[in-house]
Amino acid sequence: MSPWLMLAGLGAFHGINPAMGWLFSVALGLHRKSRRIVWLSLVPIALGHAVSIAVVMAAVLTIGLVADQRLLELIAGALLIGWAAYHALYGHRHRVRVGMQTGLVGLGLWSFLMATGHGAGLMLVPVVLPLCLSSGPAAELTAAGSLPISLAAVGVHMAAMLAVTATVAISVYEWIGVGFLRRGWINLDYLWTAALVGAGLILIV
């Protein structure tokens, strides 16, 4: 599969997960009785998520400029698996506590912390790292080659996430309602934990 399609797929997965923002968007809209708030809340949700991912990607690629590439892959793989273990054992105990009636600034902060806590940025490493390597001379990371690729990767990921988040949020607000979450919604955290482990193993192997 194309790395760009994988980036978009991960963005779509984040977008459909209520823990990543659309549930807050719907809750704010219902509380204030405003469709406009549903749309407006997507901005801080997207910004918080994008900043979280960008910070992680910048840190990983900066280390990659001075460290051996294989060592970087092993470290990133171990971090992904370790984060998956933490998420499975303790993630439900350390949820970010933000009220459903928070303002837009609080929503942006919550989105940043939630994306960071889920390891969203780390999850992009197995996809972005090969793209950056392929753009550099002799398959090496370079600042000139890594920056535009990394920015494009974050952009593709965020575009997919925002499109799915907006679609779900508006659909739930206008037609579906939140009651279906109690009737048949699956726990996406389990799938995300498995995906973290899988990504870590890909980097290590």
Tokens read off for 164: 């799915």
- Dmax (CA) of the chain: 57
Q: Which residue has the higher pLDDT, 14 or 69?
A: 14
Give me the number of domains the chain comprises: 1
Contact 102, 128 (CB under 8 A): no
**What is the model's pTM?**
0.83
What is the distance between the alpha carbons of residues 169 and 33, in angstroms, rounded to a whole number? 14
pLDDT, tens digit, for every residue of 110-138? 889 888 887 888 889 888 888 776 665 55
Q: Specify the residue for token string 């273990």.
A: 85
What is the distance between the alpha carbons of residues 196 and 43, in angstroms, rounded to a whole number? 26
Q: Domain range holding 17?
A: 3-204
The pLDDT confidence band at residue 8, using thresholds 50, 70 and 90, is: very high
DSSP code string of the chain: --HHHHHHHHHHHHHH-GGGTHHHHHHHHHHHT-HHHHHHHHHHHHHHHHHHHHHHHHHHHHHHHHS-HHHHHHHHHHHHHHHHHHHHHHGGGS-----TT--HHHHHHHHHHHHHHTTHHHHHHHHHHHHHHHHSGGG---HHHHHHHHHHHHHHHHHHHHHHHHHHHHHIIIII-TTHHHHH---HHHHHHHHHHHHHHHHH-
The pLDDT confidence band at residue 196, using thresholds 50, 70 and 90, is: confident
Choose among 85, 161, 93, 176: nearest CA to 121.
161
Q: What is the pLDDT of residue 182?
A: 64
Task: Give the rounded percent of residues in the chain with a pLDDT score beyond 90.
Answer: 25
Q: Which amino acid is at 55?
A: V
Q: What is the pLDDT of residue 1?
A: 65
What is the distance between the alpha carbons of residues 178 and 106, in angstroms, rounded to a whole number? 22
